[in-house]
Amino acid sequence: MIPFPLAGQALATREVVAPPSDIPSGAVCLPSPEADASVSSAAVVSRLGGERGAVGAHGVGRTRTVAILATLLTTVACATLVHERRIEQALRFDRDVRAILADRCFSCHGPDEEKRKAGLRLDLEDGAREALEGGANSEFARRVASHDADEVMPPPKLKRPLSDAQRATLLRWASEGAAYMPHWAFVAPRKVEPPRTRNASWARDELDLHVLAALERAGLAPQPEADPRLLLRRASLVLTGLPPTPDEAEAFARDPSASEFARRVDAMLASARAAEHTATTWLDLARYADTHGYQTDGGSFTWPWRDWLLSALQSNMPYDQFVRAVLAGDLQPEADLGQRVATGFHRLHRMTEEGGSIAEEFRQEGIADRVGTFGTTFLGLTLECARCHDHKFDPLPTREFYALAAMFGSIDENGLKSYALPVNAPPPFVRLASEEQRLREQELRAALEQAQAQLALRRAEARTRLQSVRLAATAMQAPPPDAHWAFESLENGLVANLVTGAPPASVDRRRPEQLGQFALGEGKSGAGASFDGDGGLLLDGLAGFGRHDEISIALWIRPSERNARAAIVHASGFYTQDADASGIELELVDGHVRWSAIHFWPGSAASVRMREPLPLDIWTHLVVSYDGSSRASGLRIFVNGVPEIVEVVRDGLDGPLAGHTLELGSRSRGSGFRGGAIDELRVWKRALSSVQARELAILDGLGVAPGEFEAFEEHFAETLDEGVAAARAAVRSAQRELAAHLDGIPAFACMQDSAFAPPTFVLRRGAYDQPDASAAVAPGALEAVLPFDASLPRNREGLVRWMLDPRNPLVARVAVNRLWAQVFGRGLVETSENFGLQGSFPSNPELLDALAVDFARGDGTPQSAWNMRALLRRLVLSSTFRQDSRASTEKRALDPDNALLSRGPSVRMSAEMLRDSALAASGLLVEKLGGPSVRPWQPEGLWSDAGQNGHYQPDSGENAHRRSLYTFRKRTVPVPDMSVFDAGTREACMTRRGTTNTPLQTLAILNDPVFVECARALAERAAREAGTRVTRVERAFALACTRAPTSEESNALLELIASEVERFDADFEGARKLVGTPDAELAALALACSTILASDGAMVVR
């Protein structure tokens, strides 16, 4: 039923990328960990004491390198403490200076024109020239160095004074001539010759040369290669999120050759596990969850996007194709289902269904979310800053934010989910048809076309016959209506229906919020219906009109004001405004008659409206008809007997109508017909012809000019000719069958441009209700990044081409950095969410650029460009990755965050990896690709205790043990063992997670029933697979940690078991509670397993 039946799908062809042949492999130099201890320990002290928060301190994590550099640059203060090689480094504007200017100066002297003080602009060389003239004696230097509170810059009221180190840097820069450089990230990456290194045998890959050169500059040497078991474990964890089995590790330890490692890495990369692991990063970026995120936070149908993602990753879709599918899949010629679903990326943001929400507010929130998510994910820019004002730090003006808003606001939706309707996919959507369903649709469409051809034939025949027929006057009249109210009396809240046997209309809307009262007043003849805007009538008996049902309504109508919105006849409430409107709907909008058939407004509706407003204070004869065709052309309006030329408001009805009972003159939480009057309301369950509408007006006392001959033709054919009637019935029947088929196929919200999408305006201060309506904003991109070529289409496809242009400086770097972070635990640009001026400087810019160029360009062979799998392979096979993660205390002090890559990576596993690895080690893990999200066990009452409605019903069976990326994510009630391990709420785009360390984490690992179950199963498995206490401990440890325990670890666990066996021997009941059987040995082993799962060896990638 679902288009991505990944389960059971054949694995993608294994792709083997040959390592670059010019890189020597083999002999590895093994410097001792202590080799780098030459650096004075005083330098370490100075670093700790230095101004750490000053430069480039960033959200999650620390940028010690930059801080170190800042410290080093205060050469005056601590020259003697600093390693000599560092001092030689010249001041570099883009690395050392701009970050200070950006953080402390640009908010007043930067790109934001409105906030700029004294006309001074320090972000541009031209704007700053005057202030910097005179170097050390410049106005700039004087103000920065000043001790006078009125003079000093930045001013004290900014409350972020310069540190001594920062001040020294700025003064040195000014005195050295104040050279500017463009921001590194806005200059296209360029590959430089790989650096020469003293150690000629260590590098396997060009990337190693960059790393090694940086290490040598810092006086450091790389670590020796890690133990093969741990290397395999590390590779497996960073590529697949799961550890290898002990047997795999031992086999590799027996043959740890480069070719064997490459073979195993290739197998990992080709596995579904790898797709599942890498997907998590993308799910964070896509703010992917299973609920819509606001207020009641009900379910949202999103998992097909996750499955598309898995299929794209597993087939190693090149990144350029991936970007194109995600951002503009729908715009591709003959876009396939996968490409349509991929665009769901931009429909995964939160949506509200809270009653009373203002549609435009949430439409704009959604668009801003798309722009921000796009910027963070693909450009590494903080575009959202430019929503309200020009970006304070980066050259991103507000109008360019809205140029991107025009790109992503091009779909026809109003930002709200429905409160009352079970609509999972607010249009636009694509139906997720299986191949079988698609074939069936083709059949049904063919049948419909045939029926339509028949109808055309019958109509033509009928028209020929009309030449010889003379119509009797009675044949032109409308048949008796199905309901008729003359509004002459109101008794017991009822208005009589003049059609025999038809139910009366009633004033009771059965809702408490009715404020006003329906009443009778002066009618067209005698009494009539009079409305106050709140009170109305329920037209009992008139319900269930579907999209292929005919209907006509005739009435006299007299508005007394030009109503902005006034419900005349409709079938829905207005809880979340038009998002709840479904059914047929006759309204006044700004005084104009609007006549609609609505599935979900605005993206799935047919609607027309009169060009002129209804006249006030006089009676107008109105007939509206709908022929059941689902098209705007089937909606007709007759005013005083004359067909009205209408404007098409919407013409894309693509789903069922809710079909509640029709209501007259009022609407729950919507505007009723305030000040209006209606008389002689008649309803037919058929479409009247224009001749009948005309005759109706004549009968009702209006003098109407004779109709055109075409009208008689139509009347005769549609109303009197039996052949046409039969053919028309056949068409409706074919339409109903097709609709029933389509409506049975799940719809999935995606992107689809619409001519009806509202134009984009710059919003003042970002406020939805303050558009600068003087000029609509055309779609566009970011000039400072790369001018938008005039030849590109001004749509999302054009945007993708702009992104993939080799001159685009950001896209490849951001992608490479993300994959680097997946492998090494942190990006070369640590602030992977921000490559702008306030972002951190790359720890190794030449390396980042070389990788980015190679990534985008490939090696000239097919499929080598934008090849994510090949890049991951390259990173994991590098000498840099293979290093031992252990290092001396001294080396750690010099490279505390491993920014220089002086050792192998080590990072605490993510929430998903922790649970999945525990499940895998214990043998409980159920590996099954894709499908609906699953509900593993969660604490009873979790949702209600958190103040949310709804109840979490855990799944039983295999769904309890699927990988964590499939776990149902409710945005307002995060999964506890995920949020404790920093998994985030998926309310907004997230590029990297924190790795906090809290007591709640220990409680989760040791006490969460999921982990306790894993410990028990791990113990059972170890007991099954090994015979003695010692071997069982070794087995369990190896299953969880992929290595043998050290003797100390082993002893600790064995002593634990010994003491606990004794305890359980005296408490069989306790053992039974823990492991289900009164087996003290097993219970004690389970406690040991629990301890293993909480240990460093199991929780940390090393």
Partner 1 sequence: MNGAPLDRRGLLRGAGLGLGALALADILGAQEGARTRALQHAPRAKRIIYLFQAGGPSQFETFDHKPGLRALHGRPLPDSVRAGQRLTGMSGNQAVLPIAASFASFARHGESGLEVSELLPHTGRIADRLCVLRAVHTEAINHDPAITFLCSGSQIAGRPSLGSWLSYGLGSLNADLPAFVVLVSKDAIRDQPLYARLWGAGLLPSEHQGVQFRAGKEPVLFLGDPEGVGRDARRAMLDALARMGRDASTRERDPEIEARIAQAELAFRMQASVPEATDTSSENDATFELYGAGARDPGTFAANCLLARRLVERGVRFVQLFHQGWDQHGGLPGGIAHQCGQTDQASAALVQDLAARGLLDDTLVIWGGEFGRTTYCQGRMTAGDYGRDHHPRCFSMWLAGGGVRAGHVHGATDEFSYNIVDGGVHVHDLHATVLHLLGIDHERLTWLYQGRHFRLTDVAGRVVREMLA
Residues 135-164 that bind partner 1 (CB under 8 A): 159-160
Instruction: Scan residues 185-204 and list those touching partner 1 (CB under 8 A).
Output: none
By CB under 8 A, the residues from 1048 to 1087 that bind partner 1 are 1048-1049, 1051-1053, 1055-1056, 1059-1060, 1063, 1067, 1069-1075, 1083, 1087
Distances (CA, A) of 31 to 84, 216, 896: 22, 12, 19
Site for partner 1 (CB under 8 A): which residue of 297, 549, 654, 912? 297
Three-state DSSP state, 63:
coil
Q: List the interface residues with partner 1, window 645-664 (CB under 8 A).
A: none
Phi/psi region, residue 738 (left: phi>0; alpha: psi -120 to 50; beta: rest), is alpha
Looking only at residues 853 through 892 of this chain, which bind partner 1 when binding is defined by CB under 8 A? 885-889, 892
| Strand partners of residue 609 | 594, 647
With CB under 8 A as the contact rule, the residue among 271, 278, 625, 671 that binds partner 1 is: 671
Q: What is the largest CA-CA distance in the chain?
A: 113
Q: Please state, in angstroms and rounded to a whole number, the distance separating the CA atoms of residues 681 and 486.
A: 7
- Regarding 515 and contact with partner 1 (CB under 8 A), the answer is yes
Q: Quick one: which of 173, 186, 294, 545 contacts partner 1 (CB under 8 A)?
A: 294
Which region among 58-66, 194-202, 237-245, 583-591 touches partner 1 (by CB under 8 A)?
58-66
The residue behind tokens 């194709």 is 321
Contact residue for partner 1 among 9, 58, 591, 792 (CB under 8 A): 58
Provide, rounded to whole angstroms, the least separation between the CB of residue 773 and partner 1: 17
Does position 418 bind partner 1 by CB under 8 A?
A: no
- Name which of 147 and 159 has its Cβ closer to partner 1: 159
**296 lies in the binding site for partner 1 (CB under 8 A):** yes
d(Cα 859, Cα 876) in Å, to the nearest integer? Answer: 19
- Give the residue with the Cβ less far from partner 1, 257 or 1077: 1077
Looking at this protein, which amino acid is placed at residue 124? L
Residue 1094 is a binding residue for partner 1 (CB under 8 A):
yes
For the bound state, the minimum distance from the C-beta of residue 1028 to partner 1, rounded and expressed in Å, comes to: 19
- Rg over CA atoms, the chain: 36
For position 669 contacting partner 1 by CB under 8 A, the verdict is: yes
Contact status: 25 vs partner 1 (CB under 8 A): no
The DSSP call for residue 622 is E
Q: Which one of residues 3, 241, 293, 641 is an interface residue with partner 1 (CB under 8 A)?
A: 293
- Of 247 and 1069, which has the nearer Cβ to partner 1? 1069
**Which residues in 822-841 contact partner 1 (CB under 8 A)?**
831, 833-834, 836-839
Tokens for 69, please give them. 């550099």
Among 40, 137, 861, 1007, binds partner 1 (CB under 8 A): 1007
User: Is residue 358 near partner 1 by the rule CB under 8 A?
Assistant: yes
Record the tokens describing residue 93, joined without a space. Answer: 């504007």
Compare residues 171 and 385 and give the one whose CB is closer to partner 1.
385
What end-to-end distance do the CA atoms of the chain give, in Å? 42
> What DSSP state is assigned to residue 225?
B
Q: Is position 813 an interface residue for partner 1 (rule: CB under 8 A)?
A: no
Q: Is 334 left (phi over 0), alpha (psi -120 to 50) or beta?
A: left
Torsion sign, CA atoms 945, 950, 956, 959: negative
Q: How far is the CB of 358 from partner 1 (least distance, A)?
A: 6
Q: Does 945 bind partner 1 (CB under 8 A)?
A: yes
Window 420-479: residues binding partner 1 (CB under 8 A)? none
Query: Does the protein bind partner 1 through residue 985 (CB under 8 A)?
Result: yes
State yes or no: residue 765 binds partner 1 (CB under 8 A). Answer: no
CA distance 934 to 437: 26
DSSP-assigned beta bridge partners for residue 639: 622, 642
Three-state DSSP at 322 gives: helix
**Token pair recorded at residue 103:** 């953080």
User: Which of 48, 124, 469, 740 is the binder for partner 1 (CB under 8 A)?
Assistant: 48
Cα–Cα nearest to 890, from 214, 49, 38, 46: 38
- If we measure between CA atoms, which residue out of 57, 60, 216 comes closest to residue 902? 216
Q: Which residues contact 1028 (CB under 8 A, 6 or more apart)?
A: none
Type of residue at 245: T
By CB under 8 A, the residues from 333 to 352 that bind partner 1 are: 350, 352
> H-type helices in 654-721, by residue range?
690-699, 709-715
φ/ψ of 544, rounded to 5, equals 80, 25
- Please identify which residue in the block is written with the tokens 């990230």: 185
Binding segment for partner 1 among 124-132, 143-151, 391-399, 462-470 (CB under 8 A)? 391-399
Verify binding: residue 547, partner 1, rule CB under 8 A.
no
Comparing CB distances to partner 1, the nearer of 541 and 1078 is 1078
Q: Interaction with partner 1 in 67-86: which residues (CB under 8 A)?
A: 67
Provide, rounded to whole angstroms, the least separation between the CB of residue 135 and partner 1. 29
- Of 574, 595, 712, 966, which one interacts with partner 1 (CB under 8 A)? 574
Site for partner 1 in 250-289 (CB under 8 A): none
**DSSP per-residue codes, 539-565:** -TT-----TT--EEEEEEEE-SS--SE
Q: Which is nearer to partner 1, 625 or 972 (by Cβ)?
A: 972
Is residue 996 a contact point for partner 1 (CB under 8 A)? Answer: yes
CA-based torsion, 780, 786, 788, 792: positive or negative = negative
